[in-house]
Amino acid sequence: MKHDSPTTLAMIRRGERAIVVGLNAGSQQLRNRLLSMGVVRGSEVMVTGVAPFGDPIDVRVLNSRIALRLSEASHIIVIPKS
Amino acid sequence: MNSDSDLIKGGISGPWVAVAGNPNCGKTTLFNRLTGSRYKVANYPGVTVECKSGLLPIRAQSTEQKFLQVVDLPGTYSLSGTSTDEQIAIRALTGANPPSAVIAVVDSTNLTRNLFLVSQLIDLRLPLIVALNMSDEAEKAGINIYREILARQLNVAVVKIVAYRGQGLDELTRAVELLLSSPTVSVNAFAWAADKHTASGIPPLLSTPSIPDYPANGLYAPDPHEEEASLRYSWISEIVAKSCGKSSATEPNRTDRLDSFLTHKLWGPVTLFFVLGFVFQIVFAWSRMPMDLIAYGFEAVGAWLSGIITAGPLRNLLVDGVLAGVSSLIVFVPQIALLFLCIGLLEDSGYLCRAAFVLDRFMRRFGLQGRSFIPLLSCFACNVPGIMATRIIPSKRERLTTIMISPFMSCSARLPVYSVMIGAFIPRTPTSGFLSLQGVVLLGLYLLGIVGAIVSAILFDRLHRNRESAPFVMEMAPFRTPSLRVVLRGVLDRILVFIKSTGTVIVLSSVIVWFAATYPRPTETGQDLRHTYAGQIGAFIEPAIRPLGFNWEIGVGILSSFAAREVFVSTLATVYSVQSDEPSTSLARSLEEKRRAGLFTLPTALSLLIFYVFACQCLPTLAVCRRETGAWRFPVLMFGYMTLIAYCMSFITYQTAVLFLN
């Protein structure tokens, strides 16, 4: 597994996977929500879809999919998985 | 419905069982199944979140059957967040009267994430049962959960159920009975650290899991919440690995394939357009017939009553006041029922998230969010069900904004007013295109309302800059066949809540308006509005509305349309002594004569149209606004703000029109 440099989930393109490193900034409510839905260190995520205007994005986490606004996805630090 | 449990006056009293779980895990279906028809809906004190409490028949201690209170807690992903739903859940679970047992409903196809909440429930040291719902779907997906192993790992009772088919419910009830008779609490589940409290304030569990040794690259320092969540998930994935025949799958399934179409750049919006158009058609057009039937039915009852009660004030009160009031209340039911039927089906099937997903970016431009679209769309049919539908918006701030701009959407009750005025005053000349001038004006009125809504939404958004929006993070629920049972039950709940919360206001206002427009009665049988209370008030406000081009007769019409906007047409018909079965058309003709006679001018008509676009003088709307926001200041603000705008816009219209046309 090759590790690229860390980036945010907002930069990950459709069809690509990444490993979550952690969360930065963002409101406590947002962080709690993301954490409880499985966006924790070591989780694999995959961007499965993008809305017509590019925002929000549809991300697979654990065995379900969640929709995230780009502003929210930018708080999730990931390492792309190639 | 049984009212044994006095639930909401200051919290839950007596022994009770909580039903907790993630949203979309079938919790509601289970709750409905367990309680049957023995449940009621109420508000948690002080908030607008609804509480469902019911009675579950159980056999405890002796063999006699008795009822146990069951409360359906709001669906939450965790107990450590700060959202209203989570606050309510944690308060109910750790307050003065904690439940005797908790049924944690888990979506078997999503075991790992669902166990997060379960791990926190275990932390609370409450007697717990895990109900693995949707176990049929899990099997079909090749996920084999070994119930006994899972139970041993978690140290709680685990039952497999399929709630929507009613399978496993007996086993669940027996497990609840067993737990109540000999309550056991899970111990030795998970450890955070020997001497550290978890960041969320929930006491830590025991034992030590392994932490993934992933390099953090020194970019940031994980906060306690992250560490805790990370540890929980490590513990959970170990358990799932031991008790599951297949680990979390990452292959595409039916839902994923459907989604690649439904959230497609082009096909997403196209499908959405047709779906929403269909919903609108159902709510707007299919409700016509039931509404006419209801009106007809009440008229028939009125005729019958008139037959058996002698003429006089009592008969008038009962038939023209009370009965008309009840009729104007019940006439809302078809639209509410149809709208919530559509919303229920869309939500249960999973499509509602996709609609919100596609629309979110667009709606955010106006300070709204994706889910605001459907309630606002339904407001074009009627504001009342539209405002009620805003409950699908989870974020309080966007929900409030949506509610406050709802009356700008011209509802169908304004159509008679629009068509009468346009019919009498706008020439039928065709314009370039396929619409006549009349059509253009009508369209213009609707668009004007929408513009008003957009401006107000942006304004409200600016005003509430400091109030935080709830995170959008929305689960894209898997596509499932909607359960008609659950949806219909939801529709019934909405209708009952509507009647209970706004019934008195609507009927009372109708009676008051009737009274003011009828008394004092002149001695002859003629209907001279001038001497009635309504007429006197109309004359009193006339100086204030004359700059808008209105006279006292229009003033009376506006006042009486408080009870229902359509009343304006019949009031005006009365004023101009129009005696006919078709008040709209004959009124239009009568007005046309008056126009030619210079008594009712075009500027007045235009001003009146603009007034109706912006004025919120529909009491049922204000009553529903009060119910859905939980405070008086919102309907008061709504009324004041919109009346002010209506007055100003009307004034500008009239004065400009007079200037240009003279």
DSSP letters along B435-493, please?
-BHHHHHHHHHHHHHHHHHHHHHHHHHHHTTTSPPPP--EE-PPP----HHHHHHHHHH
Interface check for A43 against chain B (CB to CB < 8 A): the answer is yes
Distances B391 to B48, B380, B625, B627 between C-alpha atoms, Å: 9, 17, 12, 11
Write the DSSP string, A9-76: GGGPPTT-EEEEEEE-SS-HHHHHHHHHTT--TT-EEEEEEE-TTS-SEEEEETTEEEEE-HHHHTTE
Helices (H), B44-123: 84-94, 111-123
Q: What's the full length of chain A, in residues? A: 82
Per-residue pLDDT at B191: 45
Contact list, A38 vs chain B (CB under 8 Å): 112-113, 116, 233
Nearest to B464 by CA among B537, B402, B390, B377: B402
d(CA B561, CA B370): 33
d(CA B425, CA B608): 12
d(CA B261, CA B268): 7
Q: Are A43 and A54 in contact (CB under 8 A)?
A: no
Contact list, A21 vs chain B (CB under 8 Å): 214, 216-217, 219
In terms of phi and psi (left: phi > 0; alpha: psi -120 to 50; beta: otherwise), the region of B598 is: left
Cross-chain residue pair B111–A53, CB shorter than 8 Å:
no
pLDDT digits (tens, 9 = 90+) for B300-337: 998 888 888 887 778 888 888 888 888 888 988 999 99
Which residue in the set A34, A42, A50 is minimally distant from B212, CB to CB? Answer: A42
- Residue B540's Cβ-count burial label (10 Å; 0-12, 13-18, 19+) is exposed
Q: In this complex, how many residue pairs, one in chain A and one in chain B, have their CB atoms less than 8 Å apart?
A: 156
Closest CA of chain B from A2, distance in Å:
13
**Which residues partner with B56 through β-bridges?**
B68
Q: In chain A, what is the greatest distance between 2 CA atoms, to the nearest angstrom?
A: 33
d(CA B520, CA B534): 9
Cross-chain residue pair A38–B233, CB shorter than 8 Å:
yes
Contact list, A49 vs chain B (CB under 8 Å): 259-260, 263
d(CA B366, CA B315): 51
Q: Are A36 and B78 in contact (CB under 8 A)?
A: yes
Interface check for A81 against chain B (CB to CB < 8 A): the answer is no
- Residue B630's Cβ-count burial label (10 Å; 0-12, 13-18, 19+) is middle
Q: Are A20 and B217 in contact (CB under 8 A)?
A: no
In a mutational test of the B interface, the residue from A40, A45, A74, A77 whose CB has the highest number of chain B CBs within 10 Å is: A40
d(CA B510, CA B499): 15
Q: Are B254 and A37 in contact (CB under 8 A)?
A: no
Cross-chain residue pair B225–A35, CB shorter than 8 Å:
yes
In a mutational test of the B interface, the residue from A5, A35, A47, A66 whose CB has the highest number of chain B CBs within 10 Å is: A35
Per-residue pLDDT at B320: 81
Per-residue pLDDT at A61: 92
Q: Mean of the pLDDT values across residues A9-36? A: 89
d(CA B549, CA B539): 14
Per-residue pLDDT at B425: 82
Question: At B59, is the secondary structure helix, strand, or coil?
Answer: strand
Cross-chain residue pair A38–B214, CB shorter than 8 Å:
no
**Which residues partner with B387 through β-bridges?**
none
Per-residue pLDDT at B80: 82
Closest CA of chain A from B247, distance in Å:
9
Per-residue pLDDT at B216: 47
Interface check for A2 against chain B (CB to CB < 8 A): the answer is no
Question: For B541-578, b where at least 16 C-beta lie within 10 A, e where not — what string?
Answer: bbeebeebbbbbbbbbbbbbbbbbbbbbbbbbbbbbeb
Residue of A nearest to B236 (CA): A38
Structure token pair of residue B534: 């309504």
Closest CA of chain B from A15, distance in Å:
11
Interface check for A15 against chain B (CB to CB < 8 A): the answer is no
Contact list, B475 vs chain A (CB under 8 Å): 37, 64-67
Per-residue pLDDT at B188: 43
Contact list, A31 vs chain B (CB under 8 Å): 223, 225-226
Cross-chain residue pair B229–A52, CB shorter than 8 Å:
no
Per-residue pLDDT at B64: 67
Residue of B nearest to A30 (CA): B471
Q: Mean of the pLDDT values across residues A29-51? A: 91
Which residue in the set A42, A48, A52 is minimally distant from B256, CB to CB? Answer: A48
Which residue in the set A22, A38, A49 is minimally distant from B259, CB to CB? Answer: A49
Interface check for A59 against chain B (CB to CB < 8 A): the answer is no
- What is the pTM assigned to this prediction? 0.85
**In the block, residue with structure tokens 């997403």:** B268
- Residue B555 has what DSSP assignment? H
Interface check for A70 against chain B (CB to CB < 8 A): the answer is no
Cross-chain residue pair A24–B220, CB shorter than 8 Å:
yes
Interface check for A54 against chain B (CB to CB < 8 A): the answer is yes
Per-residue pLDDT at B207: 33
Q: Are B85 and B76 in contact (CB under 8 A)?
A: yes
What are the φ and ψ backbone dihedral angles of B419, each rounded to 5 degrees? -70, -35
Interface check for A22 against chain B (CB to CB < 8 A): the answer is yes
d(CA B499, CA B328): 11
The residue type of B435 is L
Cross-chain residue pair B357–A51, CB shorter than 8 Å:
yes
Per-residue pLDDT at B96: 84
Residue ranges of chain B with per-residue pLDDT less than 50? 1-10, 188-189, 191-197, 203-217, 248, 579
Percent of chain B predicted with pLDDT > 90 = 24
Which residue in the set A32, A35, A72 is minimally distant from B472, CB to CB? Answer: A72
Contact list, B474 vs chain A (CB under 8 Å): 56, 66-67
Per-residue pLDDT at B111: 92
d(CA A3, CA A79): 7
